[in-house]
């Protein structure tokens, strides 16, 4: 192996924690930001990843203070999209000029219009546009220089089953790409890093296409899972639910094309991908069962805001957003 990377994973939950284990097992110097029982378990017994192929347990540096880690080669944001804004100013002690920040998040990212050349990428004053539903005052773009960012679309299902223990389905596929649509040396280095750690990386010059392809599933299956409490396989086996999901997928694919993007798959192909995931609990259902705030803004509010801007009707997505939003409000009230 070449020189080990210094990597910090901000949020060692299901997605971030799985990455942390893979990289630490490959010999890299990995730190994780964690809290509570999860932090204590990681410090005492290490961080473990179980999947159908193996069980990996690794020692990592674990802390609840980002400043304790020092400058890094790679910072992975494994938080939920709505948790990222307050963290961005805290990343400064971790950043050198060449540090890569990799947000491994669902939905439309706050940096979506950085480096974009579509009709809607510029605000009226000529600055980079930002989505009010995700970044109301543009602070997120201001708090982290977007030159650090590389896009990441996660195709991996996992769940924290107990403090310090993550269970995955054995799929660790990550699509990596520059927001500026270039194939750069740093993206190729990232792909080599992921590949050597036993993951399945894919480099693309069209990261927004990959974002929409994932969103086609997330914005439909996730709210349905939250509203019905059903696992992925149960949803796929229910023809009535699949008809709702088909309608939502058609709306999102049309919106992607309105923004100059290709969703990469047909509805039937996207449904086949979902069926291949197996009997997993989708992240929205995991959050609901744990009493956490739901990831609605990036998955539903942002595409609906983009749809209004493009005058693209999305009645199915609006319905799912309204229903899931009320469920979220009731859960948070308790």
Residue matched to tokens 């509570």: 36
201 backbone dihedrals φ, ψ, rounded to 5°: -85, 150
List Cβ neighbours of 175 (8 Å cut-off, separation of 6 or more): 151, 152, 153, 155, 201, 202, 204, 207, 210
- CA distances 213 to 78, 112, 262, 271, 273, Å, are 20, 14, 8, 11, 11
Total count of residues recorded for the chain: 334
Question: Is there a catalytic annotation at residue 214?
Answer: yes
Contact 210, 175 (CB under 8 A): yes
For residue 9, the cross-strand partners are 32, 76
d(CA 134, CA 111): 10
Rg of the chain in Å (alpha carbons)? 19
d(CA 265, CA 214): 10
d(CA 118, CA 220): 25
Q: Which one is catalytic: 6, 22, 80, 214? A: 214
Buried b (16+ CB within 10 A) or exposed e, 296-331: bbbbbbbbbbbbeebebebebbeebbeebbebbeeb
Buried b (16+ CB within 10 A) or exposed e, 62-88: bbeebeebeebbbbbbbbbbebbbebb
Contact 226, 284 (CB under 8 A): yes
Residue 192's H or E segment, with its range, is: helix 185-196
Contact 167, 159 (CB under 8 A): yes
Residues serving a catalytic function are: 214
């Amino acid at each position: 192996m070449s020189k080990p990377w210094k990597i910090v994973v901000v949020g060692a939950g299901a997605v971030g924690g799985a990455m942390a284990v893979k990289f630490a097992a490959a010999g890299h110097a990995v730190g994780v930001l964690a809290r509570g029982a999860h932090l204590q378990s990681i410090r005492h017994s290490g961080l473990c990843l179980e999947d159908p192929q193996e069980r990996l347990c690794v020692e990592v540096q674990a802390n609840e203070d980002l400043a304790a880690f020092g400058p890094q080669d790679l910072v992975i944001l494994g938080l939920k999209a709505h948790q990222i804004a307050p963290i961005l100013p805290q990343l400064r002690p971790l950043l050198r000029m060449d540090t890569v920040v990799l947000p491994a998040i669902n939905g439309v990212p706050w940096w979506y219009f950085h480096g974009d050349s579509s009709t809607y990428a510029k605000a009226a004053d000529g600055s980079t546009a930002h989505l009010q539903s995700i970044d109301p005052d543009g602070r997120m773009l201001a708090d982290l220089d977007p030159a650090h960012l590389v896009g990441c679309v996660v195709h991996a299902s996992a769940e924290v089953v107990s403090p310090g223990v993550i269970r995955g389905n054995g799929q660790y596929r990550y699509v990596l790409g520059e927001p500026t649509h270039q194939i750069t040396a740093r993206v190729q280095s990232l792909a080599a890093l992921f590949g050597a750690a036993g993951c399945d990386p894919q480099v693309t010059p069209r990261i927004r296409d990959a974002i929409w392809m994932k969103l086609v599933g997330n914005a439909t299956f996730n709210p349905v899972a939250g509203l019905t409490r059903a696992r992925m396989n149960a949803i796929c086996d229910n023809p009535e639910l699949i008809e709702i999901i088909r309608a939502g997928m058609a709306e999102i694919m049309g919106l992607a094309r309105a923004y100059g993007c290709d969703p990469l798959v047909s509805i039937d192909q996207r449904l086949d991908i979902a069926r291949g995931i197996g009997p997993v609990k989708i992240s929205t259902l995991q959050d609901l069962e744990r009493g956490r705030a739901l990831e609605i803004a990036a998955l539903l509010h942002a595409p609906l805001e983009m749809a209004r801007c493009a005058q693209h009707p999305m009645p199915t997505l609006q319905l799912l957003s309204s229903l899931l939003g009320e469920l979220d409000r009731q859960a948070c009230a308790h």
